[in-house]
Amino acid sequence: MGKMRQKICLLPAAGVILLALAGLIYWGVHAYDPVDGLKTAVYDLVAVVRSEQTSPATFFALMAVLPILGFPISVFLVVAGLKFGLLVGLAVSAAVMPIHLAAAYLLAGRLLHDPIRRLAVKIGYEIPRVPDASAASFTFVFFAVPGIPYALKNLLLPLGGIPFRLYFITGWIVQWVMGIPFMGVGDGVARMNPYMLGVFVVLMVVGYLVVRWFRARYGDILE
């Protein structure tokens, strides 16, 4: 039954991966200058997702696919707050993040897991496997600490042998909670409410300081 549930979570992600790869090929073909092409793509995408003419379904599709390619999830979280408000933004992010996690696990934990590990051995690096005894604490800290891009976090943990259920539930909860201030900032800007904006900016600063303290105290878990 557990494997069946895991397959149910992973299968929809396969379609998302195909869309993501198609988008990556499109960007690669059209971005002749890597730096200028990337900047243009980012500006264009931000303009698209912010546009009032972009339907909720289109926004959801973009938010479901692009962060898998490495596009900053924080941009989508802020824009979700701008477009939909905090409450709807929370619902949208809660629906999208599991897609990112399932797609990343399907890639790094299933389809490309063995080839990546073999490639690492060939270049003289062995990807460490996380011991079962510390898997829960390691997964929580890894998702919570800043410094590693969202997409990379989602990809690295499956390579370390983290079980799907632990990875999926922990990543979903931790990253969703950490995204709340970004959506609150977007909502505050949309409402032109300086008090609301100030509250969520303060929450972001406090959260950053707490995470830095947490990392300094428990960072050895990641070593």
Q: Where are the alpha helices (DSSP H) in 31-85?
A: 34-50, 56-65, 73-84
Q: Could you identify the residue written with the tokens 């490309």?
A: 112
**pLDDT tens, 52-90?**
677 888 889 989 998 988 888 988 998 898 889 899 999
**pLDDT tens, 111-167?**
877 777 777 677 776 677 888 888 898 898 889 887 788 998 898 888 888 999 999
**Angstrom distance (rounded) from CA 185 to CA 183:** 5
Check pLDDT > 50 for residue 34.
no
**Angstrom distance (rounded) from CA 104 to CA 14:** 10
- Residue 138's H or E segment, with its range, is helix 135-144
CB distance 183 to 190 below 8 Å: no
